[in-house]
Chains A and B, each alone.
Chain A
């Protein structure tokens, strides 16, 4: 941390944490008015902060190791980020409604195991196995939605319970066995195949991911459903009094998230070239991390999927860049944890904006 004395702690940490190099004081000024101006700008454009962090991180890591900014490495980062990004997309919808989903990883992995077993043990054609697997993920999301909206349990508790249940069922169905990609129909692992663009190798999984982000960017901004998601997360009682069927909105969000997690599970099969019941434990926190780093507020009603995409890229860039910089794995977790805390502090600070 620099020895300068900027007016606010949050910003100083933000700049320092994004850069292993001595931080140039590019955001935090030396007088309150600049700090307040930055606060206003970030309040109006919440994606700017994460974007700045991402760009600074890319520049910094490129300086540390020239291999970082090479086409093969950037391809790797994107491939690594893809699954987390899709899961984080579903998580974003839920967090926008002031909820939280701890069952993300369980739903994704269980869906991938179901798909793989439908195709192998039950011998279904690839398309059928895929569709059934996606339906199963959707149903798992709907169960979460039902418990949240009908039984009216807090999302944290609901998804904590279903997390355990889905992982347990996952172990039962899979018998703790990994299904190899070579035993499955090619559609199952198609998401991992790459399209060369120059030296860059884009996977079909990444294309699906980008298409999903584009779709939900549109749905949240330009449809009534999107407005209702924001309104429900902002103030559920106000939204209800304004005539929005908030239970229906919440149920739709959890259900759609379940479908997204299942798509994530499909992409995961392509990425690993297998369906393994033992992955995905980290996915819960990684998805929440991506959402939070992307500037979406855990208190609901504020944020965007664009921010989440940037947030997921920040996680990927950090993990990869620290690795290339020779930082041990244990310290990578430390750095990411620090980033999350900074992001949440920043969110609190931006929310306090006065007009």
Chain B
């Protein structure tokens, strides 16, 4: 994906998004382009506006002004639900899994499937068998078939496995974009590697991914392009090949002037 050209329409594009909280400007001019089949990392110091930018893209925040385009068509999200209805799935830092429910329930939470016929329409009975089979299929498609029991409560899983459930859910239902907010922040080395592999698997299935992370080695390992956010706007976009980690950090913190966009 190093040869991003202007001829390709971005899957997801933000133009001039702004968000103010009183006098505080969280996002001054939020621009972003996500192209088909790529992993775009978004990095930035605390308060650079990356969370506001991502929230606007996933419907969790309504920007004061600016535009969002999905496949070139302008869209306006008023809730996370509206964003996911058009195929943008987000895995939030807080994971958004319900610890007490099992893996299958979590995967289908908010879009449960009912049994066909009278049982489903009148008695509103859930089709647990089918949901479990589907859940098992989704999990093994992403190479996380090691979980023996799909009926296991999520709270009994390790941090990495929980993250895997959340990623599997977004990959299973996201038809356009998957947004991952700090997916490796709470994980150990081994678990992080599995999640990074999971992210590549999602890309391999044709879904572009936006990855927000503070972890430079992880960003440089999986990202195709790196969007650097600084002081409420996009400073530049680099690639892991064009710049080193320390250069990226320098741009991010303002120690170095942002180079022109290379990608």
Contact = CB atoms under 8 A, between A and B. Distances in A.
Mutual binders A and B: yes
A301 interface: yes
A230 B100 contact: yes
A136 interface: no
Contacts of B106: 242
A234 B100 contact: yes
Interface stretch (B61-69, B120-128, B233-241): B120-128
Contacts of A32: none
A32 B105 CA distance: 33
Contacts of A238: 94-98
B256 to A, nearest CB: 36
A241 B92 contact: yes
Contacts of A241: 60, 80, 90, 92, 94, 96
Given A237-B94, A241-B92, A243-B80, A230 B101 contact: yes
Contact of A243 (B101, B109, B123): B109
Nearest to A227: B105
A242 B100 contact: no
A227 B111 CA distance: 11
A223 B125 contact: yes
B111 A243 contact: yes
**Majority DSSP secondary structure for residues of B touching A:** loop
A353 B100 CA distance: 13
B109 A223 contact: no
A241 B58 CA distance: 10
B217 interface: no
Contact of B109 (A225, A231, A237): A231
Nearest to A240: B80
A25 interface: no
A294 B196 CA distance: 43
A31 interface: no
A244 interface: yes
A227 B128 contact: no
Contacts of B98: 230-231, 234-235, 238-239, 242, 301
B109 A239 contact: yes
A33 interface: no
Contacts of A227: 101, 105, 109, 112, 126
A224 interface: yes
Interface residues of B, number: 27
Interface in B142-187: 156
Contacts of A355: 156
Contacts of B95: 238
Contacts of B96: 237-238, 241-242
Given A222-B128, A238-B94, A355-B156, A243 B110 contact: yes
B114 interface: yes
A234 B126 CA distance: 20
Interface in A201-227: 218, 222-225, 227
Contact of A224 (B94, B97, B112): B112
Interface string B75-116: 000001100100000101011111111000110011110100
Contact of A235 (B84, B99, B105): B99
Contacts of B125: 222-223
Given A238-B94, A243-B81, A243-B109, A224 B126 contact: yes
Contacts of B110: 228, 242-244
A274 B60 CA distance: 54
A222 B126 contact: yes
A224 B99 contact: no
Given A235-B99, A238-B96, A224 B124 contact: yes
Contacts of B80: 240-241, 243
Contacts of A230: 98, 100-101
Nearest to B156: A355
A302 interface: yes
Among A218, A223, A241: residue with most chain B CB under 10 A: A241
Interface of B: 60, 80-81, 84, 90, 92, 94-101, 105-106, 109-112, 114, 123-126, 128, 156
Interface of A: 218, 222-225, 227-228, 230-231, 234-235, 237-244, 301-302, 355
15 contacts: A218-B123, A227-B112, A231-B109, A235-B99, A237-B94, A238-B95, A238-B96, A241-B60, A241-B96, A242-B106, A242-B109, A243-B81, A243-B84, A301-B98, A301-B100
Given A223-B124, A238-B97, A242-B98, 11 more contacts: A223-B125, A224-B126, A227-B126, A228-B110, A237-B96, A238-B94, A241-B60, A242-B109, A243-B84, A243-B111, A301-B98
